[in-house]
Structure 1
Amino acid sequence: MKTELIKLYEENPDPRKIEHIADVLRRGGIIIYPTDTIYGMGCDIFNPRAIDNIKRLKDIKTKTVDFSFICYDLSHISEYTKSLDTATFKLMKKALPGPFTFILNASSKVPKMLHTSKKTIGIRVPDNNIPREIVRVLENPIITTSIHDEDEVLEYSTDPELIYEKYRDKVDIVIDGGYGNNVASTVVDCTEGEAHVIREGLGDLSDFL
């Protein structure tokens, strides 16, 4: 496998490159891409072979995985979750796009391979045009799982060129969207109505409460 390194600008990602990336995903490819927090690895959520390949790359041996995925906007989210209560919907409308992962109850449309034992999913709408445009053109959400660093100080890899060197010949595309952040998203559990922060990250939920 020859890995492509594709440069994209967050303010105005090249539509032709976005279409090419979406086409690679449709064929079962794996990409590494920037978000508004850390760099993520992903594939089309409806491609079981690609998901299995990501699990192998990350040495995940369990059958059920807490993968989150990226949607384009709130209307996209509604397809994959059970009906949201008014308070949760209002909170997400304020906070997204943004550096949050919302844990929600999954609808029957979510592939079974993505369900946890609690039938929940993590949803992201990052404040970055690159992954959102990929999802919009693909017309499906993409998996998001973090790219870790071997450095004892840095938990997440931030330099796209170093990420490319590490994953060269292991993934199909590495997107260079500039340096990434080293702080992950804030994870908010909304499965029981009231929002609870279960991991503090880049997003401050109190700004929206």
Structure 2
Amino acid sequence: MAQLFEVHPDNPQPRLLRQAVQALQGGAVLAVPTDSSYALVCHLDDKAAVERLRRIRGVDERHHLTLLCRDLSELANYARVDNRQYRLLKAATPGPYTFILEASKEVPRRVSHPSRKTIGLRVPQHRALLALIEAHGAPLLGTTLILPGDDAPLNDAHTIRERLEHAVAVVIDAGACPMAPTTVVDLTPMGRGEEPLVLREGRGALAALGL
């Protein structure tokens, strides 16, 4: 049965973060709060965990997964970013935005889009999640926690534990969490001199991006 870790939203307990990291390194999928809604996350380099994450979410390899990074400099290690794209990213991070960018060689091909070789990237603005990423020492691979058949993401830790008690190893509860997905913007057209493409309007305001 999934464990429920109740962590302080601003100063999460290091002991619980270490236990969560151990679960990630052991191949587990976790449910974690973000500044938009809950997300499913796993270790980027664990093929079996990535497949399990996709099964829980009910998506195939054509669905963009997202790398959750600590900051913009880490994000830039996993994507090819030109000056124009970087300025837009800098204006919107951290925050509830997911950006589609061309994946760098640091991203395993099996987790990028199979035909486009792109990946979703974001820098969340949630202290407990950022502390978990820091304790893990590398970005986490994730996806919004919208279960098959649902229209909205989940945002309550106890409900998530009940519904996914045998699918995830840990549910992190850091208090109230929004129930809106990220705004998703495809920045790859900018590399061709075109405008960004809004794929999903969510919690992140488009005005902050000048869109």
TM value normalised by structure 2: 0.90
State the 1:10 CA deviation: 2.0
1:196 is displaced (CA, Å) by 2.7
Q: Tell me, yes or no, if the aligned pair for 2:57 and 2:147 is still in contact at 8 Å.
A: no
Structure 2 unaligned blocks of 5 or more: none
Is residue 140 of structure 1 aligned with residue 142 of structure 2?
no
Tell me the alpha carbon deviations over residues 142-189 of structure 1, each in whole angstroms, 9 at most, x when there is no partner. Answer: 12212226897x612221111111111221100112232221111111
Determine whether 1:182 maps to 2:183.
no
Residues 24 and 42 of structure 2 are in contact (CA less than 8 Å); yes or no, is this contact kept in structure 1?
Answer: yes
Structure 1: state its 5+ residue gaps: none
Q: Deviation above 6 Å: which 4+ runs of structure 1?
A: none
Contact 1:65 1:114 in 2 (8 A): no
Q: Does 1:171 align with 2:168?
A: yes
**For 1:50-199, what aligned pairs fall within 5 Å after superposition?**
50-60=49-59, 62-82=60-80, 84-116=81-113, 117-148=115-146, 155-193=152-190, 194-199=195-200
Q: Contact between 1:64 and 1:114, CA under 8 Å: does it hold in 2?
A: no
Query: 87-96 vs 97-106, which deviates more?
Result: 87-96
Q: CA deviation at 1:30?
A: 0.9
Give the drift of 1:207.
2.2
Identity of counterpart residues, as a percentage?
Answer: 31
Shift of 1:208: 4.0
Partners in 1 of 2:201 and 2:105 — Cα distance? 29
SS state at 1:33 partner = strand
| DSSP 3-state at the match of 2:67 | strand
Between 34-43 and 63-72, report the one with greater CA deviation: 63-72
- Letter in structure 2 aligned against 1:72: R
> What is the RMSD computed on CA atoms of the aligned residues?
1.8
Give the aligned length. Answer: 205
